[in-house]
């Protein structure tokens, strides 16, 4: 009966995508993120001076509108290079390659900010399902699934020791009217916060700056606490 209820509500879709994304990708690449950044910084000491930005910035558009080319999505985002590859044997594939791209983000004052950034790829699946008659996903259901995906992924990552401080989720709603540099502004805002966090930490202060982007409390999910994923750790924290 519970399985049938879950199928009807489609809540299992977002949960499954979030867990698959974590277990099949993030849990593999995030623990190696700091090492890749360190290797890059030894060769390019001036580009990533702030250690707080040494993480993977994961874009989560609630519209599920994922652009394959970030440079086409926003001209203020320019590809720089790829970080060191991780090569593993995976599910029968020899030497499967995992890699991340480093970008230069230009802000409104023409300053460049550098970071590794990419979309949460499972959102492409949610979007494709909403376009497929077999999946019977409405636009409203897709939005709720995107919110649930973000909330689930956030809870999973919070409970993961391996991935701690190696990622930053950037959830946002696309503007109603087209804005040429909306995406670059969103990313730069987070990079600025990371810079402030590092300065605050070095000075022994605590930063309490209100965010202009979404957090899980603002997603207004119509789900109960029992529907949320449980932490990976069983000890209290």
Q: What are phi and psi of 11, to 5 degrees?
A: -65, -25
Where helices occur in the chain by DSSP H, the ranges are: 2-9, 11-21, 27-29, 33-43, 70-73, 122-130, 139-158, 182-203
Stretch 171-175: mean pLDDT: 92
pLDDT tier at 222 (50, 70, 90 boundaries)?
very low
* pLDDT value of position 129: 83
pLDDT tier at 200 (50, 70, 90 boundaries)?
confident
- Whether 230 shows a pLDDT value over 80: the answer reads no
The residue ranking higher by pLDDT, 98 or 226, is 98
Give me 83's structure tokens. 């970080």
Give the whole-angstrom CA distance, residue 229 versus residue 227. Answer: 7
On whether the CB atoms of residues 143 and 154 are closer than 8 A, the answer is no
Q: What is the percentage of the chain residues whose pLDDT exceeds 90?
A: 51
Range among 5-19, 89-103, 157-171, 192-206 with highest mean pLDDT value = 157-171
Give the whole-angstrom CA distance, residue 72 versus residue 14. Answer: 28
List domains and CATH numbers for the chain: 1-198 (3.40.50.12100)
Q: What is the percentage of the chain residues whose pLDDT exceeds 70?
A: 79
Stretch 100-128: mean pLDDT: 94
CB within 8 Å of 143: residues ≥ 6 apart: 62, 63
Query: CA–CA distance from 23 to each of 16, 19, 20, 156 (Å)?
Result: 10, 6, 5, 10
Stretch 15-29: mean pLDDT: 95
pLDDT tier at 10 (50, 70, 90 boundaries)?
low
* pLDDT value of position 215: 59
* pLDDT value of position 224: 41
């Amino acid at each position: 009966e519970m399985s049938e209820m879950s199928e009807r509500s489609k809540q299992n879709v977002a949960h499954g995508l979030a867990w698959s994304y974590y277990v099949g990708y993030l849990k593999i690449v995030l623990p190696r993120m700091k090492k890749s950044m360190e290797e890059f910084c030894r060769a390019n000491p001036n580009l990533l001076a702030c250690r707080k930005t040494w993480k993977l910035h994961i874009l989560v558009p609630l519209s599920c509108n994922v652009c394959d080319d970030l440079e086409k999505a926003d001209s203020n985002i320019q590809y720089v290079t790829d970080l060191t590859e991780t090569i593993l044997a995976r599910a029968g594939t020899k030497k499967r390659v995992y890699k991340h791209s480093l970008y230069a983000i230009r802000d409104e004052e023409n300053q460049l900010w550098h970071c590794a950034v990419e979309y949460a790829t499972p959102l492409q699946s949610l979007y494709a399902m909403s376009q497929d008659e077999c999946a019977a996903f409405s636009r409203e259901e897709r939005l709720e699934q995107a919110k649930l995906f973000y909330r689930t992924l956030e809870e999973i990552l919070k409970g993961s020791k391996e991935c701690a401080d190696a990622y930053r989720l950037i959830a946002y709603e696309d503007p109603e009217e087209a804005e040429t540099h909306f995406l670059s502004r969103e990313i730069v805002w987070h990079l600025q916060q990371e810079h402030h966090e590092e300065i605050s930490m070095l000075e022994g202060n605590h930063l309490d700056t209100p965010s202009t982007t979404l957090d899980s409390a603002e997603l207004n999910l119509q789900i109960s606490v029992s529907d949320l994923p449980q932490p990976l750790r069983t000890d209290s924290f």
